Amino acid sequence: LQAETQPPHPAVIAHRGASGYLPEHTLEAKALAYGQGADFLEQDVVATRDGTLIVLHDIQLEPVSDVARRFPQRCRADGHFYAIDFDIDEIRQLRVTGRDSGDKGSGSVYEAENYRIPTLEEELQLISRLNRATGRQVGIYPEIKHPQWHRAHGMDLTRMLIEQLAGAGYRRYTDPVFVQCFDIAEVRRIRDELGSALRLIQLVDASQTYAQLLTRGGLAELTRYAQGLGPAYDQLVAADSSQGKARPSELFSHARDAGLLLHPYTFKRQDLPDYAPELESLLALFLGELRVDGVFCDFPDVAVAIRDAVSTTGHTGGKAALVSDGFG
């Protein structure tokens, strides 16, 4: 790792890898995203029974693997198979079968293929190897998944992650990493109790949980320990936005006034809003007009192409170019 990081701006964050093209969170999806030019690769992090950190979106294994077929006796009374009830050697036997819920709209099953759930270590080594070989400095973007759940099972997931990252060379503010979490107390704890210097992103959604945090006063307090916000992209545009007439929301303006980075999620081809009914126009709005600082995207190649196009058409990067009043 080099001392100084100057990621491209706005940053393209590969959401669960290039998950619009390959099964989410497989190393194949991460290698593809790397080849497509993503600036950061995202990891969702959960712990196994024997304390190995793995890269998996849910605390349950059955949404993306054949665990129910391989270990039918291992479900809890609620019918779920939890990663924290399995050792890493067992999880290595699972095959990624695609997401039952059709989250990506494919509903595909990957049984004849051989995709695996990677450990965090494997993924960090892949990225490290690629950065050494290419001379690029693609960053990581781990999310601490359900820290209270892990604590209730005797695992301090946050501490485990921060320690593993430090061991892998991610220690300083300028190292190419953002740590993200939806848990407000846990984000603060990373800075205040664990003393980590890494850049932190507070994930939020439109629920009441974050109402106080997203006031002017709450955002001012957040800047004391976090560098930015990861909201749903809808939270950044006014409710009365329409196609060709999107306006920034109050939250957008307040976050900008507070000096927070904005990394909205998730740019994919499903559930597109009326004000931008195509992924491409949605990305152009957020990257070219709203000028957010990064986007979580299932299609990194599309986001890179649009970022590069808007970057060469008169916009300048960085906060200087930001406007917090009307546009579009």
Amino acid letter, 47: A
The binder of a second copy chosen from 3, 6, 101, 133 (CB under 8 A) = 133
Counting contacts by CB under 8 A, is residue 32 touching a second copy?
yes
H/E element, 219: helix 216-222
H/E element, 166: helix 157-167
Contact indicator for 172, 197 with CB cutoff of 8 Å: yes
Which is the catalytic residue, given 9, 15, 150, 263? 15
Amino acid letter, 180: Q
The binder of a second copy chosen from 35, 51, 169, 259 (CB under 8 A) = 35
CA–chain centroid gap for 87, Å, is 25
Sign, CA dihedral 69-70-74-78, equals: negative
H/E element, 309: helix 300-311
Counting contacts by CB under 8 A, is residue 301 touching a second copy?
yes
H/E element, 180: strand 178-181
What is the x/- site pattern for a second copy, positions 222-241, by CB under 8 A? --------------------
Listed residue (141, 108, 143, 102) closest to 271, CA to CA:
102
CB of 276 to a second copy, least distance (A): 21
d(CA 38, CA 61): 27
Nearer to a second copy among residue 28 and residue 143 (C-beta): 28
CB of 125 to a second copy, least distance (A): 5
Which is the catalytic residue, given 9, 25, 57, 263? 57
For a second copy, the binding residues in 78-117 under the rule CB under 8 A are 92, 108, 112-114, 116
- DSSP label at 73? G
Site for a second copy (CB under 8 A): how many residues? Answer: 32
Nearer to a second copy among residue 236 and residue 302 (C-beta): 302
- DSSP label at 110? -
Exposure class string for 238-266: b at 16+ Cβ within 10 A, else e: beebeeeebbbbebbebbbebebbbbbbb
Counting contacts by CB under 8 A, is residue 118 touching a second copy?
yes
Scanning 31-39, 177-185, 241-249, 284-292 for contacts with a second copy by CB under 8 A, the matching segment is 31-39
The answer to whether residue 146 is catalytic is: no
Nearer to a second copy among residue 36 and residue 202 (C-beta): 36
Scanning 19-27, 39-47, 64-72, 181-189 for contacts with a second copy by CB under 8 A, the matching segment is 19-27
The answer to whether residue 15 is catalytic is: yes
Counting contacts by CB under 8 A, is residue 39 touching a second copy?
no
CB of 293 to a second copy, least distance (A): 24
d(CA 34, CA 37): 5
Beta bridge partners of 200: 179
Counting contacts by CB under 8 A, is residue 134 touching a second copy?
yes
Listed residue (271, 231, 270) closest to 248, CA to CA:
231
Beta bridge partners of 203: 230
Nearer to a second copy among residue 33 and residue 162 (C-beta): 33
Scanning 127-135, 153-161, 277-285, 311-319 for contacts with a second copy by CB under 8 A, the matching segment is 127-135
Counting contacts by CB under 8 A, is residue 169 touching a second copy?
no
SS3 203: strand
CB of 104 to a second copy, least distance (A): 10
Counting contacts by CB under 8 A, is residue 53 touching a second copy?
no
- DSSP label at 267? B
Active site residues: 15, 57
Residues lying near a second copy in the complex (CB under 8 A) are found at 18, 20-22, 27-37, 92, 108, 112-114, 116, 118-119, 121-122, 125-126, 129-130, 133-134, 301
